[in-house]
Amino acid sequence: AQKVTQAQTEISVVEKEDVTLDCVYETRDTTYYLFWYKQPPSGELVFLIRRNSFDEQNEISGRYSWNFQKSTSSFNFTITASQVVDSAVYFCALSGDKIIFGKGTRLHILP
Amino acid sequence: GAVVSQHPSWVICKSGTSVKIECRSLDFQATTMFWYRQFPKQSLMLMATSNEGSKATYEQGVEKDKFLINHASLTLSTLTVTSAHPEDSSFYICSAISRDRGYEQYFGPGTRLTVT
């Protein structure tokens, strides 16, 4: 069975601090994709990244970075120098024949 | 990038009535469309998977007679909530994938349903 665990339900940090959102997954598939999505208050999902199971390279995109470690089945997301606009719910997801979402982490960036 | 639209973006209906939500892929033909449901402060839960021209596959616990899904064309899928009740109030999100686009999943903006 596939499973995505986001242990952090809610996080609050002060603006400009760095914050890491954790994601641990379970799957028996050898080929799969991992995703991160941002959901602002409007509700529309914003795609952030897709990572193939064969590609363990870390990725950096501006203030965002992702650390994929197959050995620990983790795909963590770090926001550097957080901003108030980063406040949202962030979902980690795993794709086999369908996408399974974690429960999400609600991130509050305090001014 | 590909665009998936949903209509309406929000709807209020009375208990006992039916409401239809449309999901359209605007610039590509969707091999498969998915319907998700999201309660406030909760995650997205997959309701069903629909392929064009065939019956939808429902996830365990989802009533197929209550949530009717029709995928009549490669660009349109509809979800009809029949005999709606207040507990059906939720945020419904569709997504679409296309073989031509490497099976990347594109999400619609969601439809907020309130049943009074």
Alpha helices in chain A (DSSP H): none
> What CA–CA distance (Å, rounded) separates A100 from A89?
16
Torsion of CA B114, A39, A26, A32, to 10 degrees: 110
Region B90-114: mean pLDDT is 90
Residue in B43, B95, B112 closest to A91 by CB: B43
How many C-beta atoms surround the C-beta of residue A10 within 10 A?
Answer: 11
Which pLDDT band holds residue B33 (cuts at 50, 70, 90)?
very high
**Residue B107 forms contact with A (CB below 8 Å):** yes
Region B31-59: mean pLDDT is 92
Nearest CA-CA distance, residue A44 and chain B, Å: 5
Positions of chain A with pLDDT under 70? none
Indicate whether B99 pLDDT > 90: no
Which three-class secondary structure state does DSSP give residue B88? helix
pLDDT digits over B4-23, tens only?
999 999 999 999 999 999 99
Predicted pLDDT at B53? 80
* E-strand stretches of B1-54: 4-7, 10-13, 19-25, 32-38, 44-51
> What CA–CA distance (Å, rounded) separates B71 from B97?
13
* Residue B107 near residue A45, CB atoms below 8 Å: yes
Q: What percent of chain B has pLDDT over 70?
A: 98
Average confidence score pLDDT of chain A = 94
With CA atoms as reference, report the closest residue to A109 among A76, A81, A71, A75: A81
Predicted pLDDT at B76? 93
Indicate whether B1 pLDDT > 70: no
Indicate whether B105 pLDDT > 90: no
Residue in B42, B46, B112 closest to A98 by CB: B46
B107 vs A47: CB contact, 8 Å cut-off? Answer: yes
**Mutate which of B50, B107, B112 to test chain A, going by most A C-beta atoms within 10 A?**
B107
Predicted pLDDT at B100? 76
Predicted pLDDT at B90? 96
**Mutate which of B39, B41, B91, B105 to test chain A, going by most A C-beta atoms within 10 A?**
B105
